[in-house]
Chain A
């Protein structure tokens, strides 16, 4: 076997995947979640009473017992940081200044976590257990996406 050090020097064919884009619909539970976020500025979860779990974003089924979930609960906009990371480079390795703080936000003991950004806080001030609240875009700018939440900021 021969190791190739310059791949373009050997016989090759260049190409790319011609698909223009992917159009991902958000699904039945996703539609409820993102419509409530866009229209009412609310964060909804789906509750499974028998397993005692609340899913955020909501699902139409409980992954533990497979029950159909049709009970949606308003989780409010306040939660706490369950874990976080401070990103100082972006996906392509370029420096991020200021750094981005990515965090898992918990809305309660028996609730799944939501991944989002932290804002209005210095990286060194963040700690696990910090109480935070969602800062939403103004209604006219919201489009039914997870980015309708700008970030979570500390409640002070």
Chain B
């Protein structure tokens, strides 16, 4: 198996209602990633596209529609989609394209433009529920998260105040992210706790804002990486993914076992025996504040129920022992589903390469993990990266 490195990353502004077409967003992100890698499009062997169900953007065969902006014209090109989990799944697909020995350079582009759906994409999202047993009850997608959050708080005795701290940390971290629209340097725990009730326990500031945007990565075999960017060798050392049952009302909603399996797969591959000690930085998927905590636990970075304590103690701040979501995460930068790759995989790459600028964490991390979560809240993809 060939070793694989990340050699460039790029992303657009994350905001609702972007003027750019989806392909124009793709191009802006892809071009940036290529420029950072110092590669031209002609030097790319294959292209991977990640983007949500067609109905979200209102364009069928959206992967096909976006391909020229993603640099896929006249190249081996495929679309990969696993819900929100796409953010880390397309890089895994890029990884296997190279690890298999098929290609030396792969461009991975993820895009989302949900603002086309009116009055809003919410009505389209409702169609991810089971049409026979769930949809006649006229559910809202937020319900499923509210019910998961409730179960999580109940089982591990987690306080709402500690969960709110995650929103505060991430929205403040996002102030230093040039692509963030909803960063807030002054936000407090009280603001979160008193924000508009949606589906309790979920309130408005517990949720990441829907956005349009695109992000891109350039992956290369280690040999190519050593030639083109010897100053920053950041490799993908472990990958894992796993999915829970379709029957969501039969699941354990408190602990994400599927994520623990995916993480275990990735850690074993990376030779990590004790992730609590060997992981120095993490970008778990944080579309809701409680998800960051639950995902830290699923990533085996702490015991179930412990993530809230670490957060309260400041361990997960940028200057803490284990910085978590130093990018500002989905909560701070925005949530253009698949395109959140830029604040998960992209951020870990920039941090390990010491290129995160104002967001650079203090503990000079060597090994980092990022994760995304999706489908109907049951899928996780995990990627472990290292600076060599």
Chain A interface (Cβ < 8 Å from any Cβ of B):
13, 15, 17-31, 59-61, 63-66, 68
Contacts and interface: CB of A to CB of B under 8 A. Distances in A.
Contacts of B41: 64-66
Given A28-B19, A61-B24, A64-B73, 7 more contacts: A24-B58, A25-B17, A25-B21, A27-B21, A59-B24, A59-B68, A66-B30
A17 B123 contact: yes
List 3 A-B pairs, minimum CB-CB distance, nearest first: A27-B21, A22-B58, A18-B123
B177 interface: no
Contacts of B23: 27, 59
A59 B23 CA distance: 9
Contacts of B136: 13
Given A15-B131, A65-B41, A66-B71, A22 B21 contact: no
Contacts of B40: 65-66
Contact of B117 (A22, A27, A68): A22
A65 B18 CA distance: 25
B55 interface: yes
B116 A60 contact: no
Contacts of B118: 19-23
A15 B123 CA distance: 12
Interface residues of B, number: 35
Nearest to A63: B68
B194 interface: no
B94 interface: no
A31 B131 CA distance: 39
Nearest to B24: A27
Interface in B19-58: 19-21, 23-24, 27, 30-31, 34, 40-42, 55, 57-58
Contacts of B127: 17
Contact of A28 (B24, B30, B115, B124): B24
Given A60-B27, A61-B27, A13 B132 contact: yes
B126 interface: yes
A82 to B, nearest CB: 19
A2 B115 CA distance: 42
11 contacts: A13-B132, A13-B136, A19-B58, A22-B117, A22-B118, A24-B58, A27-B21, A28-B19, A63-B71, A66-B30, A68-B31
Nearest to B55: A17
Contact of B73 (A18, A21, A63): A63
B357 interface: no
Contacts of B131: 13, 15
B69 interface: yes
Nearest to A24: B116
A21 B55 CA distance: 11
A29 B21 CA distance: 9
Given A17-B124, A25-B19, A61 B69 contact: yes
A19 B55 contact: yes
B135 interface: yes
Most buried by B among A17, A23, A60, A63: A63
A15 B135 contact: yes
Contacts of A68: 31
A19 B55 CA distance: 9
Contacts of A29: 24
A66 B34 contact: yes
